[in-house]
Amino acid sequence: MEKILNRFLKYVQIDTQSDPNNPEFPSTKKQWNLANLLLAELKEIGLSDVHLDQNCYLMATLPSNIDYEVPTIGFIAHMDTSPDFTSTSVKPQIHKNYNGKDIVLNKTKNIVLSPDYFKELLQYKGNTLVTTDGTTLLGADDKAGITEIVSAMEYLVQHPEIRHGKIRICFTPDEEVGKGAHLFDVEKFGAAWAYTMDGSEIGELEYENFNAASAVVTIEGKSVHPGYAKNKMINAILIANQFISKLPLQEVPEKTEGYEGFFHLHSIAGDIEKTTLEYIIRDHDFDLFEKRKKQIQETADHLNKTLHNPCIFVVIKDQYYNMKEKIEPVMHIVKIAEKAMKKANIKPLIKAIRGGTDGSQLSYKGLPCPNIFAGGHNFHGKYEYIPLESMVKATEVIVNIAKLVGQK
């Protein structure tokens, strides 16, 4: 436990925040800092074929130690952290033997992590929790996954009596900005299937995710002196407000759960001359997903008809699709993960991801890739935390999968 904790603390203190506005790979140079550290560490623990490419994809191999053929499998995690919240100067706080009460993250700023609001905290009474100091995110998404994969590989190297086939690992950049799988070389990786260690609470096992698209709605107005504006001014801000109000008010992230889709307005900026709305569109059902995209465009078309000069323009781009279609034909790979969890005395929580992972895009690139818990909670913000015990269990699950696939 101590080794896993120290490894995790080392990783999260390296700022790897990605940038959605930079098309380069990686989108931020600081991701190289963690990549180079991991490059050296993977060599040190005894992995082979350790290679960091020009786009910041780090791959390595744990060779087979058996004399018969089994499928090559892989484990994947991402190095970047969310652009939604700062990861500069992360100062992780350790709370041993959590007592089920409020945790004061930052006394000066009165930032409190409370089970009254985050009720799932109570299931971790007695655990060691790692939290933020209330000023940054933590980075368990997905440095916990990296920690677990490295720790499991190190354990397998140190315990050659555990029989396993060839295992490939990869740490990717830019998952948080939707590009983590774009330049992933599936052929070079050479695995029959893989698992992303990028889920949340202990026990999560996921092979379904949202279909996802982005929508940028641009309203072009006309600024005129307000004293002489009648029949001349076009106030882009007010038209943006009309657009927002035309979409279903209940179909937003904060009012949906499970398989319910949503429209999420995550950015608004502008003035009278020009206002831009940025949405993400999500739905597990492909037909409903297509309907949502159509609804965005139809809302713009309807409002344009009411205006003297059409001034609303929409650009919609698909981002990724539900990997269920690619996983269902090879459901044995989910069953192996489920069995590995049960061997670790973990109750599998098979559920749909209300989001996406590298695994969704990789599955469509020919690498079936279910998602396994990494253990963290409240990602992308100052209330993020992770129980150390969950990281230990995730590491055990990886080892168990290696054992199961390595059986004759």
Domain of residue 262, CATH code: 3.30.70.360
CA–CA dist 211, 289 (Å, integer): 7
Note whether 272 and 310 are same-domain residues.
yes
Contact (CB, 8 A) for 139 and 386? no
Residue 170's DSSP bridge partners are 59, 76
CA–CA dist 149, 395 (Å, integer): 7
pLDDT tens digits along 375-406: 999 999 999 999 999 999 999 999 999 999 99
Mean pLDDT, the chain, integer: 96
Domain boundary pick from 291, 319, 347: 319
Pairing of strands 262-270, 274-283: antiparallel
Note whether 335 and 309 are same-domain residues.
no
- Please tell me the predicted confidence (pLDDT) of residue 140: 96
pLDDT tens digits along 137-154: 999 999 999 999 999 999
Note whether 330 and 181 are same-domain residues.
yes
Contact (CB, 8 A) for 351 and 371? no
What mean pLDDT is predicted for residues 307-332?
93
pLDDT tens digits along 173-221: 999 998 999 999 999 999 999 999 999 999 999 999 999 999 999 999 9
Note whether 45 and 146 are same-domain residues.
yes
Note whether 37 and 104 are same-domain residues.
yes
Contact (CB, 8 A) for 384 and 138? yes
Note whether 373 and 312 are same-domain residues.
no
Note whether 153 and 286 are same-domain residues.
no
pLDDT tens digits along 96-134: 999 999 999 999 999 999 999 999 999 999 999 999 999
- Please tell me the predicted confidence (pLDDT) of residue 190: 97
What mean pLDDT is predicted for residues 8-31?
96
What mean pLDDT is predicted for residues 315-335?
95
Q: Over 80: is that where the pLDDT of 356 sits? A: no
Q: Over 80: is that where the pLDDT of 362 sits? A: yes
Note whether 230 and 219 are same-domain residues.
yes
Q: Which of 353, 399, 397 is CA-nearest to residue 374?
A: 397
Q: Which of 19, 41, 80, 204 is catalytic?
A: 80
- Please tell me the predicted confidence (pLDDT) of residue 261: 97
- Please tell me the predicted confidence (pLDDT) of residue 357: 76
Contact (CB, 8 A) for 395 and 381? no
CA–CA dist 354, 360 (Å, integer): 12
Main-chain phi, psi angles of 164, to 5 degrees: -155, 155
What mean pLDDT is predicted for residues 211-237?
94
What mean pLDDT is predicted for residues 64-84?
96
Contact (CB, 8 A) for 81 and 18? yes
Q: Which of 141, 142, 154, 175 is catalytic?
A: 175
Domain boundary pick from 319, 348, 375: 319
CA–CA dist 362, 78 (Å, integer): 13
Amino acid at 238: L
- Please tell me the predicted confidence (pLDDT) of residue 353: 87
Provide the domain count of the chain: 2
The DSSP letter of residue 308 is: S
Give the global pTM.
0.89
Residue 237 belongs to domain spanning:
211-319
Domain boundary pick from 294, 319, 344: 319
- Please tell me the predicted confidence (pLDDT) of residue 226: 93
Q: Active site includes 338?
A: no
pLDDT tens digits along 46-71: 999 999 999 999 999 999 999 999 99
CB neighbour burial string for 188-214, b if at least 16 within 10 angstroms, e if fewer: ebebbbbbbbbbbbbbbbbbbbbbbbb
> What value, to the nearest 5°, has the Cα angle with vertex 38 and ends 33 and 42?
160
- Residues above pLDDT 70, as percent of the chain: 100
Note whether 175 and 140 are same-domain residues.
yes
What mean pLDDT is predicted for residues 294-315?
94
Query: Which element (helix H / strand E) includes 312?
Result: strand 312-320
Note whether 172 and 296 are same-domain residues.
no
Note whether 340 and 240 are same-domain residues.
no
Domain with residue 335: its CATH number is 3.40.630.10
Note whether 180 and 236 are same-domain residues.
no
- Please tell me the predicted confidence (pLDDT) of residue 178: 86
Q: Over 90: is that where the pLDDT of 355 sits? A: no
Q: Active site includes 80?
A: yes
Pairing of strands 58-62, 103-106: unpaired
Contact (CB, 8 A) for 368 and 326? yes
